[in-house]
Each structure stands twice: as C-alpha cells, then as structure tokens.
C-alpha cells in the first residue's frame, strides 16, 4: 500500500487561510522498486523520479503520448484513495483492472489540512463513471446521486456537456482534484470556460493536478508546468512547452507547415 504522511512545516495561516494546499509532494521510494527495467518503472518519468514538489494551487503534467504523465497522475490518485477509473473515494467499481503498481511505491506527503472533497477525472473512463452513477441510483433508496452532477443523466448529454456538468456541479471549494486530459471532450471555447471554472475553484481553496495536451488548459498563470520527456520531469514556462511552440508555429505559419507536412516523398 502507498504511504501517506503528514508534514507539520506548513503555515496554515498563510495566504490561502484554512484551505489548501493538501498534497505537498510525492516521493518515489526507490529502494522498494523491484526493477527499473520493468513497466512502469522503466518510464523516464518514473526512472528519474525522486521527489516531486507540487504547486499549492495548480500543477500541470505535459508531454507526448506514452511519456507516462497519465500513469503518474493515476498512481497519485490511487495513492490518495481514489478509484483508478475515476470518481470520488466512494467509488469502488472496477470495469477492468489496468492500473499499474506504481502507487505502492509512492509516499504522498500531505499538509495537516484535509480537503472537503476529492475527485479523479480520467477522460478515457468517464463513461464508466457515468454508468456507475446510474447503477448506484437504481440500487439506492436515498436521494439520487445524479443531483450532485446537475440532475440530468450524464449519458443523455454530449461528452463535452457531461464533462462540464462535472466541473460546474460536482466540484466545490476546498477540494483536491486530479484531472487526466480534461480537454478530451471540450471545444476550444469550452476549454476557456474551463479556465474560468478552474480559477473560481482555486479561489475557493481547491488544489488541482492536471495532465493535459492543451495549450489553453495549461495557460493558467498561477501554476507550475512539468514537461515529461526522456529526462523525466522538468519545470518549464508555458511558452517553453512543446505544445505551445508547435501550436503557435502551426497557426502563424500554416501554409509552409502544411506544404511540408503534405509534401510528396
């Protein structure tokens, strides 16, 4: 099982008052890793990991497909006690066991302040979360769980609408929220609306860890961005991410880039 410790060096009377941060850093217990030649420990993001310091408000993980950013975020979520497929700590369902054992080798160093809420959004399995909500509501005699998500079945909305219903209705202040590719179902306009919602929740004392490919999503100013590559995790500025550079180059040099991309061999 992952180890979770409480640190006492944080000033709970700081600028965020009695709200976050809730998770201060994550440490890989390298002596407990069986082999760095086996998955997931052979991923550069894990192989080069010792201690990962987290921003008290928003921390981003960005990188190419297969870089391991989602694997790391999932392990932190499971280490916190959240369901690997997504949901809150009350969600215990499993469609298919596919998460790694990385969480067993992580130590999560927490502040003395406990969040009122926590949730793991995993874009690729959010359908399973929506189905579980419906199943629980069919079984229960108490008030319907779907009321916390806006009162309308998430399956009766578009993928983007259901994501936004989650952000607007289910998330509230003083929460720890881990989001894996939240932009997957959001248009560029909705991604900008997400930034507004993110800011409101941060102001209400929430802390976010977000894995994303979207230059819009990762543009929140009061945040740290960790770029994941062959060197592991490197803190970078927004303008120095590959995502920003490539997107800007394509939008400002569309014709020459298309000519190069579509050229006959």
Edge-to-edge strand ranges of the sheet holding 23-28:
3-6, 106-110, 23-28, 51-53
159 pLDDT band (50/70/90 cuts)? low
**Does residue 153 or residue 26 have the better pLDDT?**
26
Q: Which residue has the higher pLDDT, 96 or 222?
A: 222
pTM: 0.84
pLDDT at res. 59:
98
Cis peptide preceding 21, ω within 30 of 0? yes
Domain 3-126+175-261 fold is Rossmann fold (3.40.50)
- 120 and 83 in contact (C-beta within 8 Å)? yes
In this prediction, residue 104 carries a pLDDT of 94
Distance CA 62, CA 190 (A): 20
pLDDT digits (tens, 9 = 90+) for 172-187: 889 999 999 989 888 9
Residues 171 and 177: their CA atoms lie apart, in Å, by 8
Judge whether residue 14 has pLDDT over 90.
no
Per-residue pLDDT tens digits for 204-252:
999 999 999 999 999 999 999 999 999 999 999 999 999 999 999 999 9
pLDDT digits (tens, 9 = 90+) for 107-153: 999 999 999 999 898 866 555 666 666 565 566 554 566 665 665 66
Residue 105: pLDDT over 90 = yes
């Amino acid at each position: 099982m992952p180890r979770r410790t409480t640190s006492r060096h944080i000033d709970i009377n700081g600028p965020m008052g009695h709200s976050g941060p809730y998770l201060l850093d994550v440490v890989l217990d390298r002596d407990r890793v069986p082999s760095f030649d086996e998955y997931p420990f052979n991923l550069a993001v894990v192989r080069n990991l010792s201690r990962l310091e987290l921003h008290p408000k928003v921390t981003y993980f960005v990188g190419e497909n297969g870089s391991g950013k989602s694997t790391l975020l999932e392990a932190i979520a499971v280490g916190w006690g959240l369901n690997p497929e997504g949901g809150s700590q009350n969600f215990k369902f499993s469609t298919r066991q596919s998460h790694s054992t990385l969480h067993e080798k992580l130590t999560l160093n927490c502040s003395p302040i406990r969040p009122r809420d926590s949730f793991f959004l995993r874009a690729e399995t959010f359908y399973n979360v929506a189905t579980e909500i419906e199943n629980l509501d069919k079984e229960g005699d108490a008030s319907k769980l779907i009321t916390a998500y806006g009162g309308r079945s998430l399956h009766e909305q578009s993928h983007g609408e259901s994501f936004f219903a989650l952000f607007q209705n289910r998330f509230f202040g003083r929460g720890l929220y881990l989001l894996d590719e939240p932009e997957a179902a959001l248009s560029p306009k909705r991604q900008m609306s997400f930034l507004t919602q993110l800011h409101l929740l941060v102001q209400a004392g929430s802390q976010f860890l977000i894995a994303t490919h979207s230059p819009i999503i990762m543009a929140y100013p009061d945040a740290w961005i960790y770029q994941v590559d062959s060197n592991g995790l490197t803190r970078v500025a927004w303008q120095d991410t590959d995502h920003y550079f490539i997107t800007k180059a394509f939008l400002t040099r569309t014709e020459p880039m298309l000519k190069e991309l579509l050229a006959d061999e």
